[in-house]
Structure 1
Amino acid sequence: MEKNNQPLVSVVIPCYNHEQFVQDCIQSVIDQTYENIELIIIDDGSKDNSIQKIQEKITACEKRFVNFQFIYRKNKGLCATLNEAISLCSGKYLSLIASDDQMLPKKTSIQVEYMDSDSNIIAHMGGVYWIDEDSKILKKISSKNKNYKFNEVFLLKHDLNVCTQMLRSDFIRSVGGYPTNFVIEDWYMWLKILENDNNKVVSVDEILCKYRKHKNNSINNGYFIYHGLLQIALQYDKSQFFFKSISQIRWRYIAAKIISNKTEGIILFYRMFLDDIFSIFSKNFWRCVRNLVRK
């Protein structure tokens, strides 16, 4: 479907307990300078007033988008929600954004131009502003102009910002969408893309979204992230980078644990250092040290 020669972009907002933020997220999609957009929102069994907040935006959404659908039902989990939404999408390109984040107005226009210029770009991302619960900008997180390789993503040596991603819909469907037994869906998909050396996961040094920092961010749950990453890494146990990837994941967990429980974090840090004393020369070691001295 095209409008003024623009390929259709499908934007998906999965929502769960974000009554305070979801309207800002929806409005940021409404405010896109790019015209040819469809919006699919699925509330995944929210227990707060998210559904009511979304319903208040329905009239504006129906007026703005070439297709708009809002579904709410019992909780099924993020990957099941994404797969359900994708099955309803008709766009050439797919943007997934959490209901507590926001797009900057030119995000879609910028990314479509990049995606149209190179059919090998399967995923495209950029930089973000971190914002607080009141939408105040806390920090600018830039992104490199870079075409990532499998080993860089597998070893977590990347600065890909999830909320900025635009993907080719046909690729997502070709791999069967997102496995519902995985919890780190973005990392899984980037690795699937890069299994083929011709495919590109690209980042650009342009700020595309606002990522909201608050106490309920999943990134704050070190245990959740550790097991989610480990679950996916085990799918690549024949890779030459497998053991290095496991080490990287362990370091990430320790760095997070030091913040959430310093005593347990110190114990894990000490054990990890004894396993590899040469880690003193690594960024992981000094990231943990930084977290240890942080107040």
Structure 2
Amino acid sequence: MPLFSIITPCYNSSQTLWSTYESLLKQSHDSFEWILVDDASCDDGLTKSLIEKITNEAPFKVKHSFLKINYFGSKSVFTGCLIADGKYVAVLDHDDQLTPGALAIVKEYIDTSCNDELVAGVCGRCVNESGLLVGKKFDADCILANEGEIRFKWGITNELFQFSKIEIIKPFFELMKPGYTNGFVWSKISEKYKYIYVNDVLRVYDTALPSSYSNTKSMLVRYPEAKADALKATIFSYRPYLKFNISYGSQIIGSYLRHTINSNINLFEAWSGFDAVLKVWCLLIYPASIMKSKGWL
């Protein structure tokens, strides 16, 4: 049984997936499997052919699953979890790479720091394609905290990279719907579990590619109602921490309001369950949310 299951959701990935594969070839720790889940790519079979080629020639275990319907990325990780044999799961995007030695680094932290059942795993840092750290360093090289504390108290709001116990993340990824992003999962996990947050760089987050999610997410307007549902759940998960980072909290609430506006959800329904502070917060940024939803800002 491998220690790690690396799950890579794929969609029209023929131009990027080989680099991801090459990064796995450079790992010194070999107790891992790679699971490729294709979300019904529409590139005339190019992604399918590449996945099959990698599966046949890789010197490590590779599994794959081809979804017949495109679920906008919402079923890929859960599908991977269903066939995973590893104890820890990492979600490595089809246009990103592991840094050399990343798995060996994570194993050291697992061996020394992850025995507590309330510790979900290890979360490290990312660099961009130029090797520059994404965001600022943690003040300490190893921190036990939850996602809410990291995002709001510590002010680390940029991309991070999690290795999580499969029995913890699997039920949360099962809740994903088209329009949800993985941030929904990390916020829900934060309600009960903590991670070991480290300054070690574990992933290359390639922001230069035109096809990278970081460069296309602003154009994704499908499923606004589902996006609103996910963001509302995220707000509830992070509610104890919102006051520690007003700017970041306003970004999340503003994004939620924009998607409710685009979904034509009435305000009574949108703000149901919000306490008085959240309702006032919504009222203060609602005008700007309307202008952004209309493209005026």
Where does residue 284 of structure 1 map in the other structure?
none
**What is the CA deviation profile of residues 216-249 of structure 1, one whole-angstrom value per residue up to 9, with x for unaligned ones?**
3333433759967753342254945568575232
**What is the CA deviation profile of residues 90-143 of structure 1, one whole-angstrom value per residue up to 9, with x for unaligned ones?**
111111101110001211111122123222431322222212xxxxx2633254
- Counterpart amino acid of 1:53? L
- Asked whether the equivalents of residues 154 and 191 of structure 1 are also in contact (C-alpha less than 8 Å), the reply is no
Shift of 1:253: 9.1
Are 2:117 and 1:122 equivalent residues in the alignment?
Answer: no
- Asked whether the equivalents of residues 80 and 180 of structure 1 are also in contact (C-alpha less than 8 Å), the reply is yes
Where does residue 170 of structure 1 map in the other structure?
167
Where does residue 182 of structure 2 map in the other structure?
186
**Alignment partner of 2:111: what SS?**
helix
Percentage of pairs with the same residue: 21
Q: How many residue pairs are counted as aligned between the two chains?
A: 242
Larger CA deviation: 120-129 vs 239-248: 239-248
Q: Find 1:36's aligned residue among 31, 35, 40.
A: 31
Where does residue 201 of structure 1 map in the other structure?
195
**Alignment partner of 2:107: what SS?**
helix
- Asked whether the equivalents of residues 178 and 185 of structure 1 are also in contact (C-alpha less than 8 Å), the reply is no
- Asked whether the equivalents of residues 126 and 160 of structure 1 are also in contact (C-alpha less than 8 Å), the reply is no
Q: Find 2:210's aligned residue among 206, 215, 218.
A: 215
- Counterpart amino acid of 2:186? W
TM-score when normalising by structure 2: 0.69
**Alignment partner of 2:132: what SS?**
strand
**Alignment partner of 1:83: what SS?**
helix
**What is the CA deviation profile of residues 201-220 of structure 1, one whole-angstrom value per residue up to 9, with x for unaligned ones?**
23211111111112333334
How has the CA–CA distance of structure 1 residues 231 and 158 changed in structure 2, closer, same or farther, with 3 Å as cutoff? farther
How has the CA–CA distance of structure 1 residues 201 and 231 changed in structure 2, closer, same or farther, with 3 Å as cutoff? farther
- 1:1-295 matched pairs, under 5 angstroms: 1=1, 8-48=3-43, 49-61=46-58, 63-65=59-61, 68-74=62-68, 75-118=70-113, 119-120=115-116, 121-131=119-129, 137=130, 139-141=132-134, 143-144=137-138, 145=141, 146-149=143-146, 151-152=148-149, 155=152, 157-159=155-157, 161-162=159-160, 164-173=161-170, 175-181=171-177, 183-196=179-192, 199-213=193-207, 214-220=209-215, 221-222=217-218, 224=220, 230-235=228-233, 236-237=235-236, 239-240=239-240, 247-250=250-253, 275=284
Unaligned runs of 5+ in 1: 2-6, 132-136, 255-271, 277-291
- Counterpart amino acid of 2:55? I
- Counterpart amino acid of 1:116? D
CA RMSD of aligned residues (A): 3.4
- Asked whether the equivalents of residues 233 and 246 of structure 1 are also in contact (C-alpha less than 8 Å), the reply is no
- Asked whether the equivalents of residues 149 and 241 of structure 2 are also in contact (C-alpha less than 8 Å), the reply is no
Q: Structure 1 CA distance, aligned partners of 2:242 and 2:72?
A: 28
- Asked whether the equivalents of residues 193 and 201 of structure 1 are also in contact (C-alpha less than 8 Å), the reply is no
Unaligned runs of 5+ in 2: 258-280, 286-296
- Asked whether the equivalents of residues 43 and 73 of structure 1 are also in contact (C-alpha less than 8 Å), the reply is yes
- Asked whether the equivalents of residues 15 and 43 of structure 1 are also in contact (C-alpha less than 8 Å), the reply is yes
- Asked whether the equivalents of residues 152 and 158 of structure 1 are also in contact (C-alpha less than 8 Å), the reply is no
Q: Structure 2 CA distance, aligned partners of 1:89 and 1:151?
A: 28
Higher strand share: 1
Q: Structure 2 CA distance, aligned partners of 1:251 and 1:87?
A: 35
**What is the CA deviation profile of residues 160-214 of structure 1, one whole-angstrom value per residue up to 9, with x for unaligned ones?**
634x3211111123x3534232644432222222212xx3123211111111112
**Alignment partner of 1:165: what SS?**
strand
**Alignment partner of 1:38: what SS?**
strand
